[in-house]
Amino acid sequence: MMCAMEFRTELSYDASPDEVFAMLSDPAFREQVAEAQEVVSVEVRLTPTDDGFSLVSDQVQNTQGLPAIAKKIAGDTTRALVEEQWGSRTAGTVSITAPGKPTSATGAIRLAPDGDGTVEIVELDIRVKVPLVGSKLEKLMADSIEDGYRVEHTVGRAWLQDNK
């Protein structure tokens, strides 16, 4: 039986949870992050709900630099579907899939006060259903997700500074 790889990252911001939530719920911010991540293309659909929002970020990502085994599965580009469902201003779920590929990352995302700022906490279970090399591919996927959140954090810090 294949087990999931656990992933966790924390992103600290010098802004209140409400300010960070407003940033995360702005489609222009999400498009700016995708541009900074150098995706080939992105379509962002963000729908406000009573207490949160629903996000679908449909991306085509370049796989340049991936090891041959990963490129064999992914191809020269791969489609990534990032979906977030925020049921409140402080918590939601996140799912990252590559339609037609044996990969997924699902879990929770939340905002917590941290002194005068906010910490965004993302916890995921990453699964790659490929016999023998699945765990190696999960590690590559975790590294890629970590890189993506690092870029989001950099863009987010600048975004919050520019919108004070």
Could you state, in order of their start, the residue ranges of all structural domains in the chain?
Answer: 5-162
Q: Which of 43-52, 57-66, 97-106, 109-118 has the lowest mean pLDDT?
A: 57-66
SS3 call for 87: coil
Percent of the residues in the chain that have a pLDDT greater than 90, as a whole number:
67
pLDDT band at 1 (very low <50, low <70, confident <90, very high): very low
CATH 3.30.2020.30 fits 5-162, yes or no: no
Q: What is the pLDDT of residues 21-55, one digit of tens each?
A: 999 999 999 999 999 998 989 999 999 999 999 99
Angle between helices 134-162 and 17-24 (to 10 degrees): 110
Give the number of other CB atoms < 10 A from CB of residue 147: 11
Q: What is the pTM of this model?
A: 0.88
Angle between helices 134-162 and 27-36 (to 10 degrees): 120
